[in-house]
Amino acid sequence: MKKTIYICAAVAVVVGLAILNSLSNNDKTLIEPEAVKQGQSKTLAEKSYFFAYQVDIHSAVLSESGSAMTFSELSWKMNFQPHASASIKSAAMLSDIVFMADNKLQTMPTQIPFLVKYQSRQFSELDMLGLSEQHPLSVLSKVLDLMSYSLDSPLTFEDALGVKTFQYVQQDNVIERVVTAHQKHADNTEEEQWQITLHLSRPGTPLTLEYNNNQIWQRSGQRYEVVQTVSVKPITHTPFEPVDWQANHNTHILPDDIAQSTGIEVTGDNFLEYIQSLKGNLDPSLAKAIGLYMLNNFDQSGLKGLFVQHENLTSAFIYALQKAQTLQAEQMISDLLTDDELGVQVQQKLVMALGRFENASDIGFSSLRHVVEQGSNEAISDMALLNMGTMSKFSPAQSNQVADYLADKMRSPVHLSTAVLAVANSKNPKLIAKLPALLQHSDVQVRKNTIKSLGQMADYQDQVITSLLASPEMASIDAFARVYQQANYKLSAMNIERLDGLYQSQSNPVIKKRLSTIMNM
């Protein structure tokens, strides 16, 4: 997937609506205000209004199988009322803000004030009072665009994905829209359902908006679906206290990823200095700040150039990308993994980064699976399969896919010995329970890897010792000695006695020495 696509997908989840239906800040018409007190002039009535809405936004990026790679839910209440000191703009407030990303509650401000101009049923000149454009709540402008309609003339909206012109049609109290012109800047396919219902019996004619948008993206043989829904419903207006309405009022409110990196400002001047320090200091916060800087300032070819130019820093570069923990970072690691010119060592580091990528999506899983299935390099293929198991620990959402895949590989003679170690990495009890049957496998490597996998678990010590007694090969005994040394348990007295019997029966001094070491640990 190219940079344009993974940026769009990531933004779709982080802010909910960044690729929402090709909208812009061009002419926007909106709702009627509530009626003002009788006796006020028409001019004042157009500028003074009190109304409120509940907004709910749901976004997800789906894999080809339909599973959610990542998803978010964003909601808030917004109240509008006359500005105390400037009649040309309305004062407004967002409150009760809740943002969930991949089931994790994100830090949100209690409320956010803003200004917006209302004229002839149009909201324009939205002023978020210095709120960062990277903040999820900057999506407010897109919500106001969606609440816009005009029965008198078409409306045209533009963003990075293209330009659209809409014609609006009203039947009774329902308004719908159709696309009359579309200039695409991207090769995605898109479907939408947009409908506004006017509440004609209520003062000010508030509206209800229901919006659904589905976009299909295809890159590098993978298919992705971005699904977005927006619901806006009128609620009772709640008056709020005015604030200072200064231009920088919201500048201190930062997105979570930036807020967590407060104090670490990566620039072109200090970038390599920070990378150098990361070699000896694996600070996750520092790594994340560096990773986000890399993603914002380098495309795939640029990062490849860094890897080639600073070969001794590739581990630090890759660690920073891993700790960025964004969909864009995951896709970038996957894309770099497909570049054979980077060399086997770099590709192995990229594989390990995907395996340890926290809350990885289907992108990471599909990338590792592709490396295993391709099998062009046995070392990288084995590394990918091992890290498939590791992914199960770091990314619970992928654990079912990983379990099914590893179960399939355990039926493959070609991958069996490595699949055994991958199963141990996964910590999946159901898969691990299948390993004892392989302790007497005819393949020495399969048997050795099974002993390595089960030897670290106290519950399987009886089966492992039985296997050693049945086939007392040096490789198997040595494998058990190494994992038992790191294990957090002691062999039972019965198993010590069984090993002592094996010791007494042996004539090979090397085997006897290893058995003695095990019994005395």
pLDDT tens over the chain, length 521 residues: 333 344 344 434 443 443 333 333 333 333 333 333 333 333 333 444 678 999 999 998 887 777 677 788 999 999 988 776 555 678 899 999 999 887 778 888 889 999 887 666 677 788 888 887 778 898 998 899 898 888 988 988 776 677 889 999 999 999 999 999 988 766 778 889 999 999 888 766 778 999 999 988 776 566 778 899 999 999 998 888 876 677 778 877 766 655 454 457 888 889 999 898 887 777 888 898 899 999 989 999 999 999 999 999 999 999 999 998 888 899 999 999 999 899 999 999 999 999 999 888 888 999 999 999 987 889 999 999 999 999 988 888 888 889 999 999 999 898 999 999 999 999 899 999 999 999 999 999 999 999 999 999 999 999 999 999 998 989 999 999 999 888 888 999 999 999 999 999 988 898 899 899 899 88
**CA angle 179-184-189, nearest 5°?**
80
3-state secondary structure 5-43: HHHHHHHHHHCCCCCCCCCCCCCCCCCCCCCCCCCCCHH
Which helix (H) or strand (E) segment holds residue 60: the answer is strand 51-62
How does 443-470 read in b/e, with b if 16+ C-beta sit within 10 Å? eeebbbbbbbbbbbbeebbebbbebbee
In angstroms, what CA-CA distances link 112 with 146, 216, 252, 273, 405?
Answer: 20, 33, 11, 37, 46
CB atoms within 10 A of CB 251: 13
How does 196-210 read in b/e, with b if 16+ C-beta sit within 10 Å? bebbeeeebbbbbbe
**Placement of tokens 């000149």 in the chain:** 125
pLDDT at residue 64 in the model: 72
Q: 3-class DSSP state for residue 321? A: helix
Sign of the torsion formed by the C-alpha atoms of 486, 491, 495 and 496:
positive
3-state secondary structure 207-272: EEEEEEEEEEEEECCEEEEEEEEEEEEEECCCCCCCCCCCCCCCCCCCCHHHHCCCCCCCCCCCHH
pLDDT at residue 16 in the model: 42
Q: CA-CA distance, 192 to 369, in Å (whole number)?
A: 33
Q: What is the DSSP string of 115-147?
A: EEEEETTEEEEEE-TT--TTSGGGGHHHHHHHT
- Structure-block tokens of residue 476: 């198997």
pLDDT at residue 451 in the model: 95
**CA angle 236-131-292, nearest 5°?**
125
Which helix (H) or strand (E) segment holds residue 111: the answer is strand 111-119
- pTM for the model stands at 0.56
